[in-house]
Amino acid sequence: MKTVFKSFSVFALFLFLFSCGESKEEANQRLRAEVIEIHDEVMPFMGDLKTLRKKIAAKADELESSSGSDNADEVQELRLLAKQLDEAFDGMFVWMRQFKQNTDEMSAEEVEAYLLEQKSMIQKVHEDITSSMQRAKSELGEG
C-alpha cells in the first residue's frame, strides 16, 4: 500500500510540476505576443517617419534661407525635431537587430526576464515614434 501511495505521490508531483511548466510557457508565449504586437503597431509608420523628417528639414531650410537669423530658435527646434524623427526610426531597427527570436536555450524564467526587458525596450521605441510623429504633424499642420 505504501508503494502505491508513494508511486501516486510521485506521479501527482510530476503532474503538478509539468502543469506549472506549461503555464509558464504559455505566459511567456503571451508575453512574446505582446512584444510583437507593440512592434507591429508602429512598424507601418517607418516610411511616414522619413517623410515627416524630410518635410521638417525642408521647413527648417526654407525658414533659415528666408529669414536669416531672425528665426534661429525656430530653425534650431525644427532641426532637433528632425533629429528626433531620425532617432525614432533608428531605434526601431536597433531593437529589431538585437531581438532574439529563438529562446530555446533559456530557462522559462530567463525567457520571462528577457521578454519583460524587450517589452520595456519596444515600448520606448513605440513612444519615441508616436511622440515624434505627433510633434512633426503638429508643426506641419497635418494633425
Specify if 11 maps to a domain: no
pTM of the model: 0.80
- Is the residue at 16 inside a domain? no
Q: Is residue 21 part of a domain?
A: no
In a domain, 31, yes or no: yes
Q: Is residue 39 part of a domain?
A: yes
- Structural domains in the chain (count): 1
CA dist., res. 106 & res. 104, Å (int): 6
Quote the domain boundaries for residue 87: 26-140
Q: What is the pLDDT of residue 10?
A: 58
Q: What is the 3-state secondary structure (H, E, C) of the chain?
A: CHHHHHHHHHHHHHHHHHHHHHHHHHHHHHHHHHHHHHHHHHHHHHHHHHHHHHHHHHHHHHHHHHHCCCCHHHHHHHHHHHHHHHHHHHHHHHHHHHCCCCCCCCCHHHHHHHHHHHHHHHHHHHHHHHHHHHHHHHHHCCC
pLDDT of 110 strictly over 70: yes
The answer for residues whose C-beta is within 8 angstroms of residue 45's C-beta and 6 or more apart is 129, 130, 133
38 part of a folded domain = yes
Residue 37 near residue 126 (C-beta atoms within 8 A)? no
pLDDT in tens, 21-53: 558 899 999 999 999 999 999 999 999 999 999
Q: What is the pLDDT of residues 6-19, one digit of tens each?
A: 555 656 656 666 55
Cα dist from 20 to 12, 24, 96, 135, whole Å: 12, 6, 31, 46
Residue 104 lies in a domain: yes
101 lies in some domain:
yes
Q: Residue 119 — pLDDT band, cuts 50, 70, 90?
A: very high
